[in-house]
Structure 1
Amino acid sequence: MGKLELPVLLSDISACRRCEANLPHGPRPVVQAGASARLLIVGQAPGRKVHDTGIPWNDPSGDRLREWLNLSRDSFYDASRVAIVPTGFCYPGKGRSGDLPPRPECAPTWHAPLLQAMPDIQLVLLIGRYAQEYYLRENAKATLTDTVAAFRDYLPRYLPLPHPSPRNRYWFTMNPWFELEVLPILRERIDTLFKTAQ
């Protein structure tokens, strides 16, 4: 796939039906992108509420993520500054212990052309194991906890984070260093990005 203009690319993504047969609720790709965006958020895949509304991170996990970033909803949903490109673009459905993994077709098909169309990206937040393994490859550690703990190794381009889901309460209780060490640096990087973009 050659380089495409972002509006054409987003239109193609919206019309994508590659894994329709494997989506119990049908395809509804949820992506936010702007050519001048400086921050890229790569998560897992939309949940049911996001699928229903078509708005990324429009759920309690998104509320916590915006709190981590110290961003208002208006700033967070400003595509000229923040791109939101999950590992899988459509809601994969429910499994036995939560949502199913992101479909494997999305990232290899769409991420590289999206990044080409957003040359100003300076920081990529890798939220959850799927995003970390896709972008960090062999540099990801054995566990998500180890990868997040080694966050300085991946700066300035990448910053790995746990998923902000309320289901992860136990992880946050067991890893208080995340709030003490990672969040201040995350907020400082976001603040700098948004100030220099003005």
Structure 2
Amino acid sequence: MSALAELLQEVRACRICADVLPLGPRPVVQADVRARLLIVGQAPGLKVHETGIPFNDPSGDRLRDWLGVSREVFYDPVQVAILPMGFCYPGRGRSGDNPPRPECAPAWRQKLLDQLPNLELTLLVGRYAQEWYLGKGGSVTERVRNWRAYGPEQLPLPHPSPRNNLWLRRNPWFEKVLLPELKERIERLRA
């Protein structure tokens, strides 16, 4: 068994937050040492928790559309690694799901990244991923608007949730300017 396979087995057996997760732990991750694309989201939603499949919800449908890839490509760990900031469903809050549990990323993120040597592009989906990788300060809108500043290796994106429809309407440049660039980058990675 490879080092990554062993590590993924450990991650999927993780119980660090077992006593605080409303539905119990069910870590949802996807990775392979050959992956060139990494998607860093927030944490699984309820549907993802129920199915154990990352982005298996309307947010995932929109994200796959943004990337210009099929479900088959998206769920191929050789092509796409998916490591959210929190691996388990954190429960429901007043205005949506709770934030990712703070214990998860420090416990697992760097260990997993060390096993992914071929990553060329990391998509930072939403506030929590952007704050971890880019630091605090600035809004999601500011980071996404300034996407060119993060080089070819990282690309901040808004969360693809249907809750962000208003954001998308208020920021038409995202679909006109950034999404064509994103799709082109994805095509180059897959070539």
Q: Specify the TM-score bucket, using the shorter chain as the normaliser.
A: over 0.9
SS in 1 for 2:135: helix
SS in 2 for 1:104: coil
Over the matched positions of the two proteins, sequence identity in percent amounts to: 62
Please state if 1:106 is matched with 2:104.
Answer: yes
Q: Which amino acid aligns with 1:132?
A: Q
Give the gaps of 5 or more residues in structure 2.
none
Q: Which amino acid aligns with 1:154?
A: Y
Alpha-carbon distance in structure 2 between the residues aligned to 1:35 and 1:10: 11
Q: Choose from 50, 53, 65 the match for 2:51.
A: 53
Alpha-carbon distance in structure 2 between the residues aligned to 1:60 and 1:104: 25
SS in 1 for 2:73: helix
Q: Which amino acid aligns with 1:151?
A: W
Alpha-carbon distance in structure 1 between the residues aligned to 2:7 and 2:99: 24
Q: How big is the shift at 1:75?
A: 0.4
Deviation readout 1:87-137 (Å, 9 max, x if unpaired): 000000001111000001111111111111010000000000000000112
In the other structure, the counterpart of 1:151 is 147
> Given the two structures, how large is their TM-score scaled by the length of structure 2?
0.98
Q: How big is the shift at 1:185?
A: 0.7
In the other structure, the counterpart of 1:132 is 130
In the other structure, the counterpart of 2:67 is 69
In the other structure, the counterpart of 2:185 is 189
When structure 1 is superposed on structure 2, of 105-114 and 143-152 the one drifting more is 105-114
Alpha-carbon distance in structure 1 between the residues aligned to 2:135 and 2:170: 26
> Given the two structures, how large is their TM-score scaled by the length of structure 1?
0.94
Q: Which amino acid aligns with 2:144?
A: V
Alpha-carbon distance in structure 2 between the residues aligned to 1:99 and 1:105: 17
Q: Which amino acid aligns with 1:38?
A: R
Alpha-carbon distance in structure 1 between the residues aligned to 2:185 and 2:165: 25
Deviation above 2 Å: which 4+ runs of structure 1? none
Alpha-carbon distance in structure 2 between the residues aligned to 1:68 and 1:112: 27
Q: How big is the shift at 1:142?
A: 1.2
Please state if 1:166 is matched with 2:162.
Answer: yes
Alpha-carbon distance in structure 2 between the residues aligned to 1:172 and 1:105: 31
Count of aligned residue pairs for this structure pair: 190
Task: Please give the root-mean-square deviation of Cα atoms over the aligned residues, in Å.
Answer: 0.9
Alpha-carbon distance in structure 1 between the residues aligned to 2:132 and 2:125: 11
Alpha-carbon distance in structure 2 between the residues aligned to 1:20 and 1:150: 38
Alpha-carbon distance in structure 2 between the residues aligned to 1:28 and 1:192: 33
